[in-house]
Amino acid sequence: MDISWQLQRVQKELLHRQTKTPNSDDTLPLIDVVTAALRARIDRRNRDKAKAEGWVEDGLLFTTQYGTPIEPRNFLRSWTARCTTAGVRYITVHDGRRSCGSLLADLDVHPRVAMRILRRANFTVTMEVYTEVSSEQTRAALKKLGDSLQ
């Protein structure tokens, strides 16, 4: 998947813009669950496009049923409703990114690799903001340290 564009609100207008910095651009391989979700989204988009009168083609994958960009407030309302329907604790999209960083840390993924996956240019920000170490991982590290000192 190539990442080189973002949807950004500037005053009252949604703009399709290049990412903030060249470091934000990247090509990432996709894991199977993401590939399956994206295929389902493509199918849904194609059905919406076939049904819509006046489809707006802008190259975005996630759009309204008419092909227009999704308003961020509408996305937030939809996300909140889906969390409620699923019976899961509400988290922000940013919390999802933080969860990804923490899971990568729990899996002992090298911090530089996590930085690339999270598309962060700053090591300190990646480690301090986007990762939390689980109690289980802390206990395992202390046991490992204790074992090495015997």
- Amino acid present at 41: R
Domain residue ranges of the chain, discontinuous segments joined by +: 31-90, 92-150
**Three-class secondary structure of residue 26 per DSSP:** strand
Yes or no: say if 5 and 18 are a contact pair by the CB < 8 Å rule.
Answer: yes
**What is the predicted pLDDT for the residue at 15?**
82
Pairing of β 13-18 and β 26-27: unpaired
CA distance 8 to 45: 21
Within 10 angstroms of residue 131's Cβ, the number of other Cβ atoms is 20
pLDDT confidence of residue 129 = 67
pLDDT band for position 143 (cuts 50, 70, 90): confident
Question: For 5-50, what is each residue's pLDDT tens digit?
Answer: 778 888 888 887 777 766 666 677 788 898 999 999 999 999 999 9
H or E element that contains 80: helix 72-86
* Tokens describing residue 19: 């990412």
Alpha-carbon distance 93 to 60, whole Å? 18
Predicted confidence at residue 25, as pLDDT, reads 66
